[in-house]
Structure 1
Amino acid sequence: MTHSLVVRPDGMGDVLLAGPAVRAVAAGSDRLTLLAGPRGADVARLLPGVDQVLCWSPPWIDPTPAAVEREEVERIVDDLAGRGIDRALVLTSFHQSPLPTALLLRMAGVPWIGAISEDYPGSLLDLRVHPPGDVPEAERALELARAAGHDLPRGDDGRLRVDVEVPDPVEWRPGRRPRVVIHPGTSVTARAWPPGHHAELVAALAEQGADVVVTGAPSEATLCARVAGDEAVDLSGRTGVAGLAAVLASADVVVAGNTGPAHLAAAVGTPVVSLFAPTVPAERWAPYGVPHVLLGDQDAPCRATRATTCPVPGHPCLSSVTAQDVIRAIEKLTTSGGGTP
């Protein structure tokens, strides 16, 4: 009986992009546990192949980290030590080190650990894979799984996937097409399209006969109400992750920034108009495995800075994108089958 652990303690999008690697590891394991952070635990429970989700926020990963507390570290070490884990893969993004997590796993007695690591790991890793360069995050994680001897089962196309068994909470209006979901919120302001642009888009789509739904977290209610106006249905704060996935699955196209719901749309197979600020590489983080159109100046001065607040006055990389640009992208995805797969 092989009990495997996959570690991906990041946000919703990070966990979703780990999905193909998780399925590969699950195919070669009797049991798979996923260690996720609080921002990714809910969607982790929707990933095929996951038997159990543990939730913990490593202070060397979380963007708003708590202090490193000995008692808390010892608690998670003791928890992991009692689970009979045989093998662990530590999934990271290109800017993260797996070594603090590997140390924690060694302290918990995990006998075999693999990770992608730029740095010399000493005895912390049994499998060290060198960074593969600018590849999509889903493929980066899957490359590690394959190096560890795990591959996708026959018939698995390697795309993102979630298991959703909840009804669609949207009553789409008959005869109105396309069905468009707009998600205006982002985890950081540097990735956000201006609210006024979103509101202009909603008004233009409604005038053209589209059916529009606006989604967001409870904390984004004010933003979503402004964007929805009187022309769209405002679902902010009214869906959990599974309900949001059901809404996205029933849409013809999703408009979102580089944020978790864009990857959730990809996981349910819905095309995405991606309002993508170049603070991180689109080669790694664009919607994976579905038709999409990337909008935003990818050569802007903020390119590859990983800035959370736009360093350029006026936020030109995204503010230069107009509502009509988005409408043309929607038309491309919904009428001609265009977009990048």
Structure 2
Amino acid sequence: MFLLLLSLCWGCGVSDSLKLLSEWSNVRNVLVMRLDNIGDVIMTSPALRAIKENLPACRLTLMASPSGAHAALLLPWIDEVFSWQALWQDLGSLDFNPQREWQLIQTLRDRHFDAAIIFTSFSQSPHPPAFLCYLAGISLRLGESKQYGNGVLTTEAPAAPDQVHQVERNLRLIEAVGFQVRDRSLSIQFDPDVEQTALQLLARHSIVDRPYILLNPWTSCQSRNYDSLRFAIAAKQLAQQTGMPIVVTGILKDRDRAQSLLTTLEPHAIDLIGSTTLPQLAALIASAQLVLTNNTSTMHIADATRTPSVIMFAGTEYESQWRPRHNLSHLLRHPTACSPCYAFSCPYQLECLDIPPEDVVAAGLDLLASVQQRA
């Protein structure tokens, strides 16, 4: 069965696949590239875990975007993080500076990597980062491609269908060179002192050993944001019906748009906006009875911690690409003809997120009831 799996590698027979497996079994210094946001990096966790299980002596360096690099604090399989704003993923903020790119090549060359594994989404090409790795002298370069790269990748895994879940896309990539995968679920870890610090944040608001609902109502993309006032109305109704306070989280810049939400939630809101690190946020999510959020990194953290979640899932993507797979969850979305649009800003009125607060409340109560039944 294992040989059959290997024989599926594009352009190789069984003997070639065994050769690839032999080459990869000898690597010790591996560069893993995932140059998107926090949630995208968290979704590499099953693949990172599998790499370490197959190559326990290897050193894993994650090359990530400045924002995505924060996720490494939750992924114990990573030995080092290399943060970089990649030119080929930039949205126009970087200036034209060839010297910066040559410096990146030299930096990678100086680290003497044996291999590079390039994780991408269905819409991204692995060839720009693969060419970078080629110039840096990295001899093994693995990526999934819809186009023929003329040798820039030493192994071009066959492209998965666009609607395949991102976790499976990542795992298919490493399976293409013979890595065995024991566990395909998301996983994160944080230190006990992080959990203690998170509990201390709650204790300052007189929440000790008391169940709570966590509300993370914003994302970095306007097109994925459920109306915050509707979120507040739904959360307040859940607080009134369950007796649980609402712990509101977000990054510091979210505070500029938080006042009306917090006012609506009074007196049930516990304001922790901008007060947590990413590991502390993960610890709070892990301890929550229920999470209310959008399609963002919080959704993936809740999946990894198995926390029940109501997700306002915009029509920007197919649900099959990103949805939670291992926690109890309800994804709410209004069908629209423009989905999936993959847009950062909605040119219309966010009709895909035109969900009444009552539907959010009903979904939350259903999940809480399911947890009680299981208990």
Q: Which has the larger radius of gyration?
A: 2
Call closer, same or farther: CA 1:3–1:175 in 2, change over 3 Å. Answer: closer
Tell me how far apart the structure 2 counterparts of residues 35 and 82 of structure 1 sit (CA, whole Å).
15
Aligned to 1:135: 164
Tell me how far apart the structure 1 counterparts of residues 358 and 109 of structure 2 sit (CA, whole Å).
55
Q: What are the residue-to-residue correspondences of 1:1-341 with 2, within 5 Å?
A: 2-29=28-55, 30-63=58-91, 65-133=93-161, 134-153=163-182, 157-165=183-191, 166=194, 167=196, 168=198, 169-171=201-203, 173=207, 177=211, 179-208=212-241, 209-229=243-263, 230=266, 231-297=268-334, 299-312=335-348, 314-318=349-353, 320-337=354-371
Residue 258 of structure 2: SS of its match in structure 1? Answer: helix
Residue 259 of structure 2: SS of its match in structure 1? Answer: helix
Instruction: For 1:201, give the aligned amino acid.
Output: A
Residue 184 of structure 2: SS of its match in structure 1? Answer: coil
Residue 308 of structure 1: SS of its match in structure 2? Answer: coil
Tell me how far apart the structure 2 counterparts of residues 69 and 8 of structure 1 sit (CA, whole Å).
22
Call closer, same or farther: CA 1:224–1:24 in 2, change over 3 Å. Answer: same
Call closer, same or farther: CA 1:131–1:65 in 2, change over 3 Å. Answer: farther
Which runs of no fewer than 5 residues in structure 1 stay unpaired? none
Conserved 8 A contact 1:27-1:49: no
Tell me how far apart the structure 2 counterparts of residues 189 and 64 of structure 1 sit (CA, whole Å).
18
- TM-superposed CA distance for 1:279, in Å, is 1.1
Instruction: For 1:45, give the aligned amino acid.
Output: L
Call closer, same or farther: CA 1:50–1:74 in 2, change over 3 Å. Answer: same
Residue 170 of structure 1: SS of its match in structure 2? Answer: helix
Q: What's the % identity of the aligned pairs?
A: 33
Tell me how far apart the structure 2 counterparts of residues 41 and 326 of structure 1 sit (CA, whole Å).
32
Instruction: For 1:150, give the aligned amino acid.
Output: F
Aligned to 2:3: none
Call closer, same or farther: CA 1:100–1:212 in 2, change over 3 Å. Answer: same
Tell me how far apart the structure 2 counterparts of residues 290 and 85 of structure 1 sit (CA, whole Å).
37
CA offsets 1:151-176 (integer angstroms, 9 cap, x no match): 235xxx32111121102232374686
Tell me how far apart the structure 2 counterparts of residues 228 and 273 of structure 1 sit (CA, whole Å).
19
- TM-superposed CA distance for 1:28, in Å, is 2.7
Tell me how far apart the structure 2 counterparts of residues 34 and 181 of structure 1 sit (CA, whole Å).
30
Aligned length: 331
- TM-superposed CA distance for 1:65, in Å, is 4.3
- TM-superposed CA distance for 1:226, in Å, is 2.6
Conserved 8 A contact 2:73-2:190: no
CA offsets 1:148-203 (integer angstroms, 9 cap, x no match): 222235xxx321111211022323746865x2111111111111111210121232
Instruction: For 2:136, give the aligned amino acid.
Output: A
Instruction: For 1:233, give the aligned amino acid.
Output: I
Instruction: For 1:290, give the aligned amino acid.
Output: N
Aligned to 2:7: none
- TM-superposed CA distance for 1:22, in Å, is 1.3
Which runs of no fewer than 5 residues in structure 2 stay unpaired? 1-26
Conserved 8 A contact 1:7-1:36: yes
Tell me how far apart the structure 1 counterparts of residues 258 and 213 of structure 2 sit (CA, whole Å).
14
Tell me how far apart the structure 1 counterparts of residues 134 and 364 of structure 2 sit (CA, whole Å).
49
Conserved 8 A contact 2:218-2:225: yes
Residue 112 of structure 2: SS of its match in structure 1? Answer: coil
Instruction: For 2:300, give the aligned amino acid.
Output: H
Instruction: For 1:197, give the aligned amino acid.
Output: R
Tell me how far apart the structure 1 counterparts of residues 367 and 92 of structure 2 sit (CA, whole Å).
36
Tell me how far apart the structure 2 counterparts of residues 150 and 65 of structure 1 sit (CA, whole Å).
37
